[in-house]
Structures are given as structure tokens and as C-alpha cells.
Amino acid sequence: MKRKLFTSHGTGKFKPGQIHKLGNNVIFENAVLVFHPENIEIGHNVYIGHNTILKAYYNNKLIIGNNTWIGQDCFFHSAGGILIGNEVGIGPKVSILTSQHRPELKNESVLFSSLECKQVILEEGCDIGVNATILPGVSIGKGAIIAAGAVVTKNVPAGEVWGGVPAKKIADR
């Protein structure tokens, strides 16, 4: 079977003017990489920490609301779209993933199987702990807290605290 050849995604180096919508007082620390800046919208008063990768996609949007803080070494892959509300805190080393491979045939290579894309939503005022991972299709409700190191595989209701692998409810706020 003939496979598509791999190609580079580019360097990720960008100029703020390349971003589709960019608010006032947006801080990009050193070594932030941005892919497909034409599909990124960033609100006002946003901090993006060192070595973070904002990997927008050729379709769908990566949208970051006002007054949001993103720690260093984060990885956001928005093939399915990412919507981050206002006043969201995102700790260092958080990963937000919006796509996954879905092999239709048992004998098929997972790498070359079809890609399933689903949007991730972080609602206003939620907080994502250090090294947490948010998987495709998940919504984190308003004011919810995700504990450090959690792997979130399903929707988190507003005002709840979730932690663990896989994440589950551990408290109310």
C-alpha cells in the first residue's frame, strides 16, 4: 500500500501580527511556537509561558479568552478546535488534545488510520493543574478544577474538582 510522504509542519516561529485576532497585553515568553496562526484568536491580557506550543490546525480554531494564564511547556493541538474561556488558569506542562487515531481494521497500522477530531472546551474560570492531560471531546465546566497529573477522559461539570488517571470527581468547590 502506498503511503503519503511525511512533510514538515514548519518551524513554529511567528510574528504576533500573523495571529488572526490578537488582544492587548498578550505576553509570549521565549521559545513559544505557533503553528497556523491564521486560525488562532487570543483575547486581552493573556500570558503564554516559555516553550509552549500552540498547534492550531488548517481547519478549526484555537481560541483563548481574556485574562487567561498559560504556564510553560504546554502543548495544545487543536485539530478538532479548542475554546478556552475567560479567566482560565492552565498550569505548566498541560496537554490539550483534540484528535486521535481510530483504526477501522484490526490489521491496519494505527499511525495511518483515520483521524477523529473533537473540540475541547474549557469554560470560564476553570483551573487546570500542572501536567494534566485533556483528551478529545472533553468540556471542563465553569469554575471546575482539574488536579495536577489528571487525565480527563469525560466532561467535568461546573464547580467540581476532578483528579486521577482516569480523572474522576473528588470534591465540590
Q: CATH number, domain at 167?
A: 2.160.10.10
Q: Is 89 contained in some domain?
A: yes
What's the number of domains the chain is made of?
Answer: 1
Which residues, 6 or more positions from 29, have their beta carbon under 8 angstroms from its beta carbon? 47, 48, 49, 50, 51, 52, 72
Dihedral-angle region of residue 110 (phi above 0 means left; psi in -120 to 50 means alpha; beta otherwise): alpha
Q: Is 77 contained in some domain?
A: yes
59-96 pLDDT per residue, tens: 899 999 999 999 999 999 999 999 999 999 999 999 99
Contacts 24+ apart (CB under 8 A), 95-104: 95/132, 95/133, 95/134, 96/120, 96/122, 96/133, 96/134, 97/133, 97/134, 97/135, 97/136, 98/60, 98/136, 98/137, 99/136, 100/135, 100/136
Domain carrying residue 56 = 16-102+111-172
Q: Which residue among the candidates 9, 20, 44, 101 is catalytic per the annotation?
A: 101
Cis amide linkage into residue 166, ω under 30° from 0: yes
44 catalytic residue (yes or no)? no
Tell me, what's the pLDDT at 58?
Answer: 85
27-56 pLDDT per residue, tens: 999 999 999 999 999 999 999 999 999 999
CB 54 within 8 A of CB 9: no
